[in-house]
Amino acid sequence: MTHRALPDAYVTTFLLRELLERAAIEDLIRWTQEPLLLPGVSFGKHRGSAWSDLPLDYLEWIIDKSDLNDDIKYTASHYRTKIRTAPLRAA
């Protein structure tokens, strides 16, 4: 079957136009150069978990001692900061 590029080009154009209404081109370029904030854990014993559900010591291990990639370390750092700055809950 022959690939038809026109529908892909149309959707890409539409998405780019929508993005440019919300952010400057410089922002879009900067975003492509930053690590990703991953939606969920895709490895190890916590596979399938939400990052917000991980224990603080595991997040710290990922950041400080693992050889995992920059996206994973960035995401772990993001959620470690959220845990550290969250208000304490009453028991």
How far apart CA 26 and CA 8 sit, in angstroms, is 24
More confident residue, 12 or 3: 12
> Is the pLDDT score of 91 beyond 60?
no
> Is the pLDDT score of 90 beyond 90?
no
pLDDT value of position 4: 86
- Residue 38: what residue type? L
The pLDDT of 24-43, averaged and rounded, is 94
Task: Look at the pTM and tell me if it is higher than 0.85.
Answer: no
Q: What is the pLDDT of residues 54-71, one digit of tens each?
A: 999 999 999 999 999 999
